[in-house]
C-alpha cells in the first residue's frame, strides 16, 4: 500500500515588481484622474531634451544621437516612476485624511531620516478624538495637532509647557493638520518636517527624545489607519 505523502501548503508567491507597480498605478488612477497625463509628460520631457541636445551638439554623428535618445528614454522612465511614487503617496493619504490616527500613520511610516516619532499621540481629547503628536529631530521638537485649531489649542499649550520643563531651550515648532485653511495637508507632513532649520545634533536628538518619552504618559491611541492597507473606495 503506497504511503500518502503529506503535502505542505505552498506559500503564495508575492507579486513581482512589475505587477506591484501596476497595482499601485491602478490604485492611484482611481483617485487621481491626471496621473496618466503627468506620467506621459514626465516621460516625453527628458526624451525631447535628449533629442534636442543630440541634434544641436552632434547633428552628424548617428551613434551619439542614439546615445542621447537612449539617455532621454531612461530619464523619461525614471521621471515616470518618480511621478507615480509621489502621486501614489498623495492618493493613499487622501483616503485617510481627516480620520483619527492619520497623523500617527504618517509618523509611523513616512518620517525622513534623522526624525523620531510615534503613532501614539501625547495628548488626546476622548470626546472629539482630536490629538497632538510629537516628533523630535534635528529641527527640535515638533508638536503636530490633528483636528481644528480651536479645539487643539489648549492641548498644544499644555504640551509646550511640558516640553519646556524637560527640553529647556529646545526649539518647539507647531504644525496643524486638520480642516483649517492654512493647515498642512497630510501627504506633505513628512516633507514639512525636513524644511525646519536644524538646531540639534544627532546625539542631542536622542537625549531630548529619551527625556520626553520618560515623562510621557501612555494614552489610548485613536484607532489609527494604515495608508498601505486602506481599502480603496469605489469611484462614483
DSSP secondary structure letters along 204-220: HHHHHHHHHHHHPPP-P
Give tens-digit pLDDT for 98-126.
Answer: 788 888 888 887 888 888 888 889 999 88
Q: Let me know the angle formed at the C-alpha of 135 by 164 and 94, rounded to the nearest 5 degrees.
A: 135
Confidence of residue 14 (pLDDT cuts 50, 70, 90): low
Residue 54: count of CB within 10 angstroms of its CB: 20
> For 99, which DSSP code?
S
- Beta carbons of 89 and 26 less than 8 angstroms apart: no
Residue 1 has pLDDT above 70, yes or no: no
Q: What is the pLDDT of residue 235?
A: 44
Work out the average pLDDT over 3-9: 51
Percent of the chain with pLDDT over 70: 84
Is the C-alpha dihedral spanning 149, 228, 139, 119 positive or negative?
Answer: positive
Confidence of residue 18 (pLDDT cuts 50, 70, 90): confident
Burial per residue of 149-172, b for 16 or more beta-carbon CB atoms within 10 angstroms, e otherwise:
beebeebbeebeebbeebbeebeb
**What are the DSSP calls for 40-93, one per residue?**
HHHHHHHHHHHHHHHHHH-TT-HHHHHHHHHHHHHHHHHHHHHHHHHHHHHHHH
Helix (H), strand (E) at residue 13 = none
Q: Which residues contact 95 (CB under 8 A, 6 or more apart)?
A: 31, 227, 230, 232, 233
Place of cell 495637532: 145
Measuring CA to CA, how many Å separate 232 from each of 15, 18, 25, 93? 19, 20, 13, 11
Give tens-digit pLDDT for 36-65.
Answer: 999 999 999 999 999 898 888 887 788 888
Give tens-digit pLDDT for 170-180.
Answer: 889 999 998 88
**Measured torsion, CA atoms of residues 14, 19, 21, 25, in degrees rounded to the nearest 10:** -120
Rg (CA), the chain: 24
Amino acid at each position: 500500500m503506497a504511503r500518502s505523502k503529506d503535502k505542505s501548503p505552498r506559500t503564495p508567491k508575492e507579486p513581482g515588481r512589475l505587477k506591484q507597480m501596476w497595482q499601485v498605478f491602478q490604485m492611484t488612477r482611481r483617485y487621481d484622474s491626471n496621473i496618466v497625463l503627468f506620467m506621459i509628460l514626465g516621460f516625453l520631457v527628458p526624451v525631447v531634451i535628449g533629442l534636442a541636445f543630440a541634434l544641436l551638439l552632434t547633428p552628424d554623428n548617428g551613434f551619439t544621437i542614439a546615445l542621447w535618445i537612449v539617455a532621454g528614454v531612461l530619464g523619461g522612465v525614471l521621471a515616470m516612476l518618480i511621478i507615480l511614487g509621489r502621486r501614489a503617496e498623495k492618493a493613499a493619504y487622501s483616503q485617510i485624511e481627516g480620520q483619527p490616527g492619520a497623523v500617527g500613520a504618517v509618523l509611523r511610516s513616512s518620517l525622513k531620516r534623522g526624525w523620531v516619532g510615534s503613532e501614539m499621540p501625547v495628548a488626546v481629547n476622548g470626546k472629539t478624538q482630536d490629538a497632538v503628536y510629537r516628533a523630535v529631530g534635528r529641527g527640535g521638537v515638533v508638536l503636530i495637532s490633528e483636528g481644528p485649531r480651536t479645539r487643539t489649542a489648549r492641548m498644544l499649550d499644555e504640551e509646550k509647557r511640558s516640553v519646556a520643563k524637560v527640553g529647556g531651550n529646545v526649539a518647539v515648532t507647531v504644525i496643524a493638520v486638520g480642516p483649517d485653511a492654512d493647515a498642512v495637508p497630510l501627504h506633505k507632513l513628512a516633507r514639512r518636517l525636513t524644511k525646519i532649520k536644524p538646531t540639534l545634533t544627532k546625539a542631542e536628538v536622542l537625549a531630548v527624545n529619551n527625556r520626553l518619552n520618560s515623562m510621557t504618559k501612555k494614552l489610548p491611541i485613536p484607532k489609527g489607519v494604515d495608508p498601505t492597507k486602506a481599502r480603496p473606495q469605489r469611484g462614483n
